[in-house]
Amino acid sequence: MENLIEELTAKNKEYIHSVTKQLMLLGKSDEEIKTILNDILPQIIEAQKNGTIARKLLGAPTEFAQKYQPKVADKPVTEKNENPGLMWLDSTLLFLGFISVLNGIMAFVSSTSPVYGFVTVVLSSVIAGLVMYMMYRFFYRPKADGTRQKWNWKGFAATTVSVLLWIAVTVFSGLLPTSVNIQLPAIALIIIGIVAFGVRWLLKRQLNIQSALVSQPRK
């Protein structure tokens, strides 16, 4: 290789020096660099006989070296976790966080604002989570899968029943005595809401749970 380098013009020697430096920056070993140079030196020598410099033949040193940059493997696409129980829990925690924080803020703003009791908040969140899962299961998911939409009477019936149950639970749990359906202080409701949002975020991060609130194409 040294003999071939001696045959280079001054400009081409400078080019080889720059290429070597770039390859070293990419972490190439001495043997790898020698192999690469042994491949290109004959081409450069042949081209310079016709007055063509190495830069014009092979491109700028940085551009040439990029061809030998290690390829980063694509990260595998992780399937969303569509476990019904986890998706229901995910939606429940979302509603629990939202209802609790909203009630807490309303209680702070006005002492006369109606505030749900804790039992009502929890039961409403659980049924609301079920409603959202039903909508995902029977309507959003087929759409995301590209399935042709047809009248889904089972899905419509299941979702309708869930909504009616949601309303019934919210209304009738509100009739429970305050000794059972305790009305928590505003700050307690806000803390519960924040904790619910935090737990949901951690579970989604750890278990990659599919949200029932969005229709995402499945991989």
Q: Report if residue 72 sits inside a domain.
A: no
| Last residue of one domain, picked from the residues 40, 66, 92 | 66
Name the domain count of the chain.
2
Amino acid 144: pLDDT: 47
Q: Report if residue 200 sits inside a domain.
A: yes
Q: Report if residue 79 sits inside a domain.
A: no
* pLDDT band of 146, cuts 50, 70, 90: very low
Does 201 score more than 90 pLDDT?
Answer: yes
Cα–Cα distance for residue pair 189/193, rounded to 1 Å: 6
* Domain co-membership, 183 together with 88: yes
* Domain co-membership, 122 together with 171: yes
* Domain co-membership, 88 together with 193: yes
* Domain co-membership, 59 together with 92: no
Amino acid 148: pLDDT: 46
| Last residue of one domain, picked from the residues 14, 37, 66 | 66
Q: Report if residue 217 sits inside a domain.
A: no
* Domain co-membership, 60 together with 98: no
Would you call 199 exposed, middle or buried from its count of C-beta atoms within 10 A (0-12, 13-18, 19+)?
middle
* Domain co-membership, 105 together with 45: no
Q: Report if residue 10 sits inside a domain.
A: yes
* Domain co-membership, 52 together with 103: no
Higher pLDDT, 174 or 95: 95
Predicted confidence (pLDDT) per residue in 60-99, tens digit = 888 888 888 876 554 455 677 888 889 999 999 999 999 8
Range from 70-74, 78-82, 107-111, 148-152 carrying the lowest mean pLDDT: 148-152
* Domain co-membership, 132 together with 169: yes
* Domain co-membership, 35 together with 138: no
* Domain co-membership, 93 together with 163: yes
Q: Report if residue 74 sits inside a domain.
A: no
* Domain co-membership, 95 together with 139: yes
Amino acid 94: pLDDT: 93
Predicted confidence (pLDDT) per residue in 36-50, tens digit = 888 888 888 888 888
Q: Report if residue 77 sits inside a domain.
A: no
* Domain co-membership, 95 together with 182: yes
Q: Report if residue 219 sits inside a domain.
A: no
Higher pLDDT, 3 or 208: 208
Instruction: Determine phi and psi for 209, rounding to 5 degrees.
Output: -75, 135
Amino acid 101: pLDDT: 92
**What range does the domain containing 35 cover?**
2-66
